[in-house]
Each structure stands twice: as C-alpha cells, then as structure tokens.
Structure 1
Amino acid sequence: MPQRLVVTELSHEPRKRFPEELRRLRNERGMSLRELAKVLGWDASLFGKMESGATLGGPEVVQALDQYYGTSPLLLTLWEMAVGDPTQFKEQYRRYMLYEADAVSLWHYAASAPPGLLQTEGYMREALAAGGAKGKVLEQQVEARMGRGKLLEGDEAPPFRAIISEAVLRMGLRDKRAWREQLEFLAEAAERPNITLHVLPFGAGLHGLTNTNTMFLRLLDGSTVVYAENDVRGELIEESSRVERLQRAYDAVRDLALAPAESRMFILRLLEELPCEPST
C-alpha cells in the first residue's frame, strides 16, 4: 500500500484530485509514463493526458491502475465522482471516501454492524446479499469494501478506535463459520498497535448515539469531519458545531464502554459460546 500522505495540498474537488493522485502514485513508484504503459498495456499518451487532466480515461484503465497501485477502490471512486457517475456511491459517501483516504486518525461507533474497515469478506458478502446485491454487482461491492480495510494495514496505518455495541456482537450471521471468522478477526485486530476496540455492553443503557453508526475522521489540517448513518440515510457532517456535539456524545459513550482488554475478553467469550464446527 502506498505510504500515507504528509502534505495538505491535495484537493477535495474530484476533477482536480483524480489527476493529482495519478501523478503522486506513479512518482512514488519512480516510474516514467512509458514504463507504466509497458506494464499495463495502454498507450503512454493516455496516461499523460489523464495526469494532466485533459481526459479522465475509462473505467477499465482506472480499475487496472487501482489494482496495480493497490489503492482499490480510491481511484475508481475519484473517477466516478469526476464524471458524475452515481452508480456505486452516493455523492456524500463518495466525498467521505476521499476524506477517509486522507485521515490521520479515525474513531467509530458501531450501532448495527462491525466497523466497515474491520469486516471480513464473509460478513460483507452476507450483509450485501441481504441488502439485495447479487451476481456481478455483489462481487464488485465485496471487492470494493475489501480494499478499504487496507487503510489500517502497514507501518503508516493511522490510529483507529472503535466502540462496538453488544447488539452487533450478538446478532451474528446465518453462516456460522463466517461469523466465527468475523469475531476472530475482531479479536486479532484488537491486538494491533494502531487499533483500539471497546465493547459497549447492554447494561450501558440509552445514549446519544444509540441508533447511529458514526465515523469521525481527523484530517491533515487538524479539522474533523463525521459520517453518520442509520438504516434510512447517511450524512457527511463538516460544520464544526455539529461535529463538536457528536464528539461530546462519542466521548460519553466511550466512558460507558468496557476497557480494551475487557473488550477483547468479551469477544473471546462469545467465540467460546459458539457451537463447535462439525468435524469433517
């Protein structure tokens, strides 16, 4: 995965950001346009025009670049935003994806599902299928979501804190093996140095974020944005006063949650309660 950015000049306007990212990624590889063209099989002049902003290219070449650089789905998301294609992400969520890629720290409250950055493929597959996705669309959405998890990997990964409602951990999946893998992954993730997990037990009662999945992103310029989502709608919140109110609510919820060590033990106990898989 490319190293995290340490500059603040990158634009959040998709038509400008797309060529900026293309230039940055190629320069990080130390490649010329000709070398990139030789590896991927497109003409060097096309990559030059895309990096200058003269053309956006097509989805096939953008997907190839995403695969080569290991950035999926960032470049395709930028391309969709730049051409105004709403097929994969709603506008506010697409903007959120840009902020997420740049965040220097992230913290999350999970009201109804494990944090997206910590979901296993099995969980994503069943959740997306339950929402109506199937066939090629399902595979594309699973692949896009799997790419997001790379954000928390490697030496340059940002710190991530998640508070997970006990309801999330009790709901489970129809596929018991996939659910076991999800719980095991959460327990393993809790041991990473950049990840802190809390479990919010049922006994904590009602609170200010009870029905709202909430992700806070601290950006390079020191500002914070929030993406809040429930079963009906999602909203990107950038207004400082609203962000501050949500931050206070999050801090109050964190005070009610179990400590990280207790939280990991809670997840391990849930694993012990799962029925053993039949021997083969």
Structure 2
Amino acid sequence: MPQRRAITGRSQEPRARFAEELRLLRAMKGVSLRALADAVGWDASLFGKMEKGQTLGGPEVVEALDLYYGTGDKLLTLWELAIADQTQFKERYRRYMALEAEAVSLWQYSVAMVPGLLQTAGYASEALAAGGYRGEELEQQVNARLGRRALLESEEPPSFRAILSESVLRNSLRDARAWWEQLEYLVEVGERPNITLYVLPFGRGLHAMVNTDVMLMRLLDGRAVAYAESDLLGELIEETSQVERLLRTYDDLRDLALSPAESRTFILRVLEEAPCEPWI
C-alpha cells in the first residue's frame, strides 16, 4: 500500500486532493484508464472525469478503487471529505445568490465564459452540459440560470458592470446558431441603461484576476462583498480588507479594458465574423 503523503499547499481543497490521489495511484500502478476500467468494471470515461475533478463518482466505485489499489478505506475517506466540502460549497453559493438578489450594484470580471446573468438558453445549456448535467436535471439548471436574468430586467434593476476577457468572446459554442444568438444578446443588453460591458483584449498583460472569475456586490446597507470562483472552488468573501483589495484590482482591470463604446464595436466585429445564417 502506498505511503500516505502529507497534504500539501497545492492539494488542500478536498475535491482536488481526491482527484490528485486518484491520478497518483494509477501512475504508481502503471495502468491506463482503459486497463483500470477493465479491472474494476466501470467505464474509463468515468475514471477520467474523476481524475480531472469533474465528478466525484459514487461510493461503490470508490470502494472498488480502494480494493483495487489496496488502500484500505483511504480513497473513501477522501471522497467523503470532498462530498462534505461540495455540500458546504452549495450552501455558500446559495448565500451568494441571496446577496446578489439584494445588491444595488454588481461588478463582474469573467475569464472565459459569458457571465451567468447574461447567458442565453443555448449558451447555458452547452455550458451546463459540459459540467456533467444531463436530461431533466440539465433542463432544470438551464431554467434556473435563465431565471437569474430577471434581476437585471426588474422595474428597479441594479447597475451591472461586466469586464469580459477576450477569451469569453473567442470561446465559441459548438452550436453556431446558439453562439450567434449569444453574441447578439450581448450587443442588445449592452444598450440597456443599467448594464455596461467592457472587453479586456488580449495583449494587455498579466493581472491579479487572470485565472479567477469575480463578482463584486454593493448591498443596501453600503457593505461590499465578493464571490470569487475558479474551476473547482467558489468562495464568498466578506472580510472588508479582502473585498477592498478586489475592488481596487477590478478598477485596475477596467482601466486596461476598452471603453464601453469600443467594447460594443469589438463585440459587433466578433458577431460579424460569426456565420450570418448559422441555422442553415
């Protein structure tokens, strides 16, 4: 049985720690995903997703892996920690959604995807399907995401500023028509008085949010809070000094971005480059 390693700074997040351990054990065993699937009895794609942190799998498959690798209940313990952390993440996310609904001002920076508040049905469907949702659950999640748009369409909507990395506009969808509709929707919402869009083009240099989506929210009581999200972790930030640092970083990014008028022209140019009749 492999010796248990200390949890290092790069693997403290339970879900990442679990995925990391799966990768290490298979590398030490010297087997391919296909060979692992043949030996344990589940599909190779499931093991691939587990090793990438895209899914945690179920207790039965984890117990089978413990048996195969001879690790006692080590993997099951790590899996239970990751499941518990995922539940806590959902609780933090629900609190974030409640704060978002109460905010009077919203400022977002998006690294690679269209902000949830600005997604069309086609975009949301492909994005959520990439995250593993299928069937009825996918439909429910798409409807929930589209429901968030009502916040910006209410009688007294909050002001919303969004800085979009150029990557957001270059990561097109597989469905050409859905991508065209998403770009057209960005142009449309950018004309609303409560919404301002900025594009941060390539070549403006590295910055403090280069790998992290951030939503900053000013609440009715004057407080500002933030929600930062990377590939595997979302964090609600309420400590004043941390939020103020993010606000300053956001202002720095806005200084690097194109003006709203220039950003609109940029999005229109990307739209013009998209298929004119993508439904054909």
Q: TM-score range by the shorter chain?
A: 0.5 to 0.7
Please give the per-residue CA displacement for 1:12-54, whole angstroms capped at 9, x wherever unaligned.
xxxxxxxxxxxxxxxxxxxxxxxxxxxxxxxxxxxxxxxxxxx
**Structure whose alpha-carbon radius of gyration is higher:** 2
**Match of 1:226, SS?**
strand
Instruction: Name the residue aligned to 1:61.
Output: none
| 1:183 aligned onto 2:183 | yes
Q: CA deviation at 1:173?
A: 0.4
2: CA distance, partners of 1:109 / 1:95 = 20
Instruction: Name the residue aligned to 2:174.
Output: 174
Please give the per-residue CA displacement for 1:55-84, whole angstroms capped at 9, x wherever unaligned.
xxxxxxxxxxxxxxxxxxxxxxxxxxxxxx
Please give the per-residue CA displacement for 1:80-135, whole angstroms capped at 9, x wherever unaligned.
xxxxxx88970110100110110011010011211110010100000111111001
Figure out how many residues of one structure are paired with residues of the other and give that number.
195
1: CA distance, partners of 2:163 / 2:275 = 26
**Match of 2:220, SS?**
coil
The change in CA–CA distance for 1:149 and 1:236 in structure 2 (over 3 A counts) is same
Structure 2 letter corresponding to 1:181: E
Q: CA deviation at 1:273?
A: 0.7
Does the aligned pair in 1 maintain the 2:180–2:275 contact within 8 Å? no
**Match of 2:112, SS?**
coil
**Match of 2:203, SS?**
helix
2: CA distance, partners of 1:185 / 1:252 = 27
Q: CA deviation at 1:154?
A: 3.2
Instruction: Name the residue aligned to 2:244.
Output: 244
Structure 2 letter corresponding to 1:246: L
Instruction: Name the residue aligned to 2:163.
Output: 163
Does the aligned pair in 1 maintain the 2:165–2:201 contact within 8 Å? yes
Structure 1 letter corresponding to 2:260: P
Structure 1 letter corresponding to 2:122: G
Structure 1 letter corresponding to 2:108: H
The change in CA–CA distance for 1:161 and 1:279 in structure 2 (over 3 A counts) is closer
2: CA distance, partners of 1:279 / 1:234 = 36
Please give the per-residue CA displacement for 1:119-171, whole angstroms capped at 9, x wherever unaligned.
10100000111111001100110111111010000331110000000011001
Instruction: Name the residue aligned to 1:255.
Output: 255
Instruction: Name the residue aligned to 1:136.
Output: 136
- Within-5 A mapping of 1:66-215: 90-215=90-215
**Match of 1:202, SS?**
coil
Structure 1 outlier segments of 4+, above 3 Å: 86-89
Structure 1 letter corresponding to 2:115: P
Does the aligned pair in 1 maintain the 2:108–2:214 contact within 8 Å? yes
Q: CA deviation at 1:232?
A: 1.6
Instruction: Report the TM-score, using the length of structure 2 for normalisation.
Output: 0.67
2: CA distance, partners of 1:113 / 1:279 = 23
Instruction: Name the residue aligned to 1:229.
Output: 229
Structure 2 letter corresponding to 1:258: L
1: CA distance, partners of 2:88 / 2:275 = 37
- Within-5 A mapping of 1:56-75: none
When the two chains are superposed, the root-mean-square deviation of aligned CA atoms in Å is 1.6
Instruction: Name the residue aligned to 2:49.
Output: none
The change in CA–CA distance for 1:118 and 1:279 in structure 2 (over 3 A counts) is closer
Structure 2 letter corresponding to 1:92: R
2: CA distance, partners of 1:88 / 1:148 = 22
Instruction: Name the residue aligned to 1:62.
Output: none
Structure 1 letter corresponding to 2:100: E
Structure 1 letter corresponding to 2:232: V
Structure 2 letter corresponding to 1:224: A
**Farther-moved stretch of structure 1 (149-158 vs 234-243):** 149-158
**Match of 2:217, SS?**
strand
2: CA distance, partners of 1:135 / 1:89 = 23
Identity rate of aligned residues, in percent?
68
Structure 1 letter corresponding to 2:109: Y
Structure 2 letter corresponding to 1:140: Q
Q: CA deviation at 1:265?
A: 0.5
1: CA distance, partners of 2:260 / 2:94 = 31
